[in-house]
Chains A and B, each alone.
Chain A
Amino acid sequence: MSEGTKQMTTKPATDSLRPMTEVQIKQTRDFIKSLEEDCETYWDMVSVGDVLSRDLEITPELVILYADAVEDYTPWYEGWRMNEWRIDGQSPFGNAIVPPLMMSHFVLSVQFDHTKPFAIGSIHTFHDTELLAPIFVGATVRIKTTAIDKFVKRERRYVRHEVEVSDVESGKIYMRETRDILSR
């Protein structure tokens, strides 16, 4: 752990890691309080065999949001650029494409049933991902998750899912994945 983090841990506060006024601190504490709702653990929430599916339109702006959050400035992903706004972009495949593991992140929005309270305390621990074909920016994909196992390892509870990401229009399969979530 870095020196900056060690210093923070001696006196943790809402504004330990970034400057805030008392208004911002109050807004943050109120927001966190609003998140505290009764919910099941992820272990209890999921049954083996559960299948969930959602469709996601991958807009250029969503790709920029992701790429900026991980500080990846590879130009292949740019289907939006300031001043020009939406553009076709360029990649080795033609137009702009989606970063390799962006869809893997959005699996969380499917396997954690978004119609139920979020199970705070769950941690993503593992993924094994096959990237079968590039996804062009602007595509609409179907993310389908299937709970295939629940197991205990070293007294920790894990839920395992299989994932398939496909094109809504053509049915083309873009990605397959196996992933584990550690539950409280």
Chain B
Amino acid sequence: MNVSNTKGKPVPHDDYRITKDTPVGFELIGVKKKAAIQLMGSRLWGRFNPNHWDPLYADETGLDAPIQTGEMSSAYIAEMCVNYLGASVFTGARIQCKYVASTYANEIITTYGKVRDKTPKGDGYRFTVDLWAENEDGERKTVGFIEADVDV
């Protein structure tokens, strides 16, 4: 499906789509984000909990630095999934994320994905892709997977 924005340019996702021919073991190129304190302190996240945006409060509660909400990592992973799986993410997909370590302010987080399995379904396959997010030192922060239909 080729979707254009109002400027007439195709959205970038189509260049990276997983198709029914994509093999098990295929590795996705993820997205990279900085845990910017300004975004961690957005009103979107509520600002109820200063552990997410105030260095002094975080220190007083035993944290090395303010920590991101887990939802931010999940959103980064979901962005990567949409890049590769497109509309399938919104129609019968299952996505699971477990926050195994805290993401601290200023860390650079990169998401990763690797096709674990593909099961025949209809004219295509239901893919299972392992997902994770890690910092510059390779420390995993979030792990999970997505199941989604491709070319079904």
Contacts and interface: CB of A to CB of B under 8 A. Distances in A.
Interface of A: 1-2, 4-5, 8-9, 12-14, 16-18, 28, 31-32, 35, 65-66, 69-72, 74-76, 78, 81, 87, 90-93, 97, 99-102, 104-105, 108-109, 118, 120-121, 123-134
Given A5-B65, A124-B99, A126-B98, A32 B78 contact: no
A69 B48 contact: no
Contacts, number: 172
Contact of A69 (B1, B45, B57): B45
Given A66-B44, A128-B96, A72 B54 contact: no
A126 B64 CA distance: 22
Contacts of A100: 78, 81-82, 89-90, 93, 95
Interface in B92-140: 92-99, 104-108, 135-137
Interface of B: 1, 3-6, 11, 13, 33, 37-39, 42-51, 54-59, 61, 64-66, 69-72, 74-76, 78-79, 81-82, 86-87, 89-99, 104-108, 135-137
Contact of B70 (A16, A118, A124): A124
A127 B93 CA distance: 14
Contacts of B3: 75-76, 90-92
Nearest to B92: A132
Contacts of B11: 74-76
A130 B94 contact: yes
Contacts of A74: 11, 13, 79, 82
Contacts of B108: 2
B78 A101 contact: yes
